[in-house]
Amino acid sequence: MAETSRVGKRGTVVIPAPLRRRFGIEEGSLVIAEERPEGILIRPAVALPLETYTPERRAEFLLSNAVDAEDYASAVREVRGMGLDPNRIVHRRPDE
């Protein structure tokens, strides 16, 4: 399917309604404009929420993912280097 559109002020392009419906593009949707050898490709974009971990959560990961006593001791040093007390972080020790 190909349709002609005009470029408006500020570079706006109207995507024909049948194409918007087909690809789930609604007002406020994100799209990606890519340069291609044959022209510009405009396609729907997907934005996923990003989880931001607190220092305590990162410390929990470090401590809980230790595989042996040596690895755990290294994690404890790293957590202390973050200014946190490993004994106050809920986690699983490698020997449990």
* pTM (two decimals): 0.50
* Res 87 pLDDT > 90: yes
* pLDDT for 43: 93
Tokens of 77: 């040093």
Helix 69-81 vs helix 55-64: angle between axes, to the nearest 10 degrees?
170
SS3 label, residue 58: helix
* pLDDT for 96: 64
* Res 3 pLDDT > 90: no
Tell me the torsion sign for CA atoms 2, 8, 10, 14. negative
Q: Tens digit of pLDDT for each residue in 5-50?
A: 899 999 999 999 999 999 999 999 999 999 999 999 999 998 888 8
